[in-house]
Amino acid sequence: MAKKAYPLRINPEVLNAMHQWAADDLRSLNAQIEYVLREALLKSGRIKPKTVIATQVSLDD
């Protein structure tokens, strides 16, 4: 999936809170903003959840 750049104007207080949240979750600010937007879209039913196929990798030979 290609990503598209988008300039964002944001309140400094919200930006600082997002920076801290991103740091707490070990994400970049961009990834955190995208995560929050995606969760809000899922919750509101505006996008459908993707099917995630989990695979387990064994390091034992």
Structural domain boundaries of the chain?
Answer: 12-43
Average pLDDT of the chain is 88
Instruction: Report the pLDDT value the prediction gives residue 36, as an integer from 0 to 100.
Output: 95
Q: Count H helices, E strands: the chain?
A: 2, 0
What type of residue is 24? D
List, in sequence order, the alpha helices (H) in 1-61. 12-24, 29-43
**Dist CA 48 CA 61 (whole Å):** 38
The Cβ-side half-sphere exposure at 54, using a 13 Å CA radius, reads 1
Q: What is the pLDDT of residues 29-55, one digit of tens each?
A: 999 999 999 999 999 999 888 865 566
Question: Above pLDDT 70, what percent of the chain?
Answer: 82
Q: What's the pLDDT at 31?
A: 94
Confidence of residue 17 (pLDDT cuts 50, 70, 90): very high
Cβ proximity of 34 and 42 under 8 Å: no
